[in-house]
Amino acid sequence: MILLGMAAMAVAYTVNAQEKKYPEQEPMRPGMSEYWTPQPKIVTPGDAATNSAPSDAIVLFDGKDLSQWENAKGGEPTWKVHDGVVTVVKSRESGDIQTKQKFGSYQLHLEWCVPTDITGTSQARGNSGVFMQGLYEVQVLDTYNNETYVNGATGSIYKQTPPLVNAMRKPGEWNVYDIIYTAPVFKADGTYLYRPRVTVIQNGVVLQNNTEILGTTEYIGFPKVQKHGDGPIILQMHGDPSQPISFRNIWIRPM
């Protein structure tokens, strides 16, 4: 009898437990996952018809002068400003030019053109480069009907990562680079915590998609890890014998 009574009590407890209901989660409403502040800062886009920069950009070259630049060896730059563009002057004294201001992560816009009568082959044809933080090169080169080693082609991370495609316009036409660069973060011992990364778009076509940069872009040898802070943007005067390259409409948006 005792056992039967205990069994009946257990059955009754189970039934009661099954019948007990708890509050259900409230139905979600659209507003429960929305927030309104802070509102994004308003930036007026540039005008493609006039090649103007966005309203929050730092204009590095507007076609008038090189006041934002210096010779990479020190002193005033000697590249030639004319007709709204700046053209490389190829001489030992001229050398590379670099921004006076130093930057970390940013969006960079610049346009470049090789002359219609460009000569040379492989690397000896309109060679230049854009160096982020003075250490990491995105290659500039005329690869229109001109093959070269692929990790030195237009839009490559020089001697590291080839471009996804060749999007060159023919000589005499302007090429557009839009570069989104994320600066590295270093550990206390000088090694990378996070490597630098870069996206390169040429003429509206993606050449590098959030590509990890392994280290400095060396002409001879392999990448090196060099601890650093903000650095300049360098435009290269390459010593190849081909006709000099020109640049225009250079602006930057630090991020």
Give the CA radius of gyration of the chain: 29
CB atoms within 10 A of CB 7: 10
Output 5 or 112, whichever has higher pLDDT.
112
**Alpha carbon distance 225, 196 (integer Å):** 11
Residues 6+ apart with CB under 8 A from 65: 81
What pLDDT score does 11 carry? 52
Instruction: Note the pLDDT tens digit of each residue in 227-245.
Output: 999 999 999 999 888 889 9
The pLDDT of 179-203, averaged and rounded, is 98
Residue-averaged pLDDT of the chain: 92
- Nearest CA to 173 out of 201, 199, 150, 203 is that of 203
pLDDT at 4 > cutoff 90: no
How does DSSP classify residue 13?
H
Output 12 or 49, whichever has higher pLDDT.
49
Q: Considering the entire predicted model, what is its pTM? A: 0.88
Q: Do residues 195 and 136 lie in contact, with contact meaning Cβ atoms separated by under 8 Å? A: no
Instruction: Note the pLDDT tens digit of each residue in 17-61.
Output: 578 889 998 899 999 999 999 999 999 999 988 889 999 999 999
Separation of CA 210 from chain center = 8
What pLDDT score does 74 carry? 87
CB-neighbour burial class of residue 35 (10 A; exposed 0-12, middle 13-18, buried 19+):
exposed
**Alpha carbon distance 79, 246 (integer Å):** 10
CA atoms within 13 A on the CB side of 43: 12
Query: What confidence tier does 200 reach under pLDDT thresholds 50, 70, 90?
Result: very high
* Range 56-255: architecture per CATH: Sandwich (2.60)
Instruction: Note the pLDDT tens digit of each residue in 143-190.
Output: 999 999 999 999 999 999 999 999 999 999 999 999 999 999 999 999
What pLDDT score does 132 carry? 98
Q: Do residues 107 and 98 lie in contact, with contact meaning Cβ atoms separated by under 8 Å? A: no
What pLDDT score does 239 carry? 82
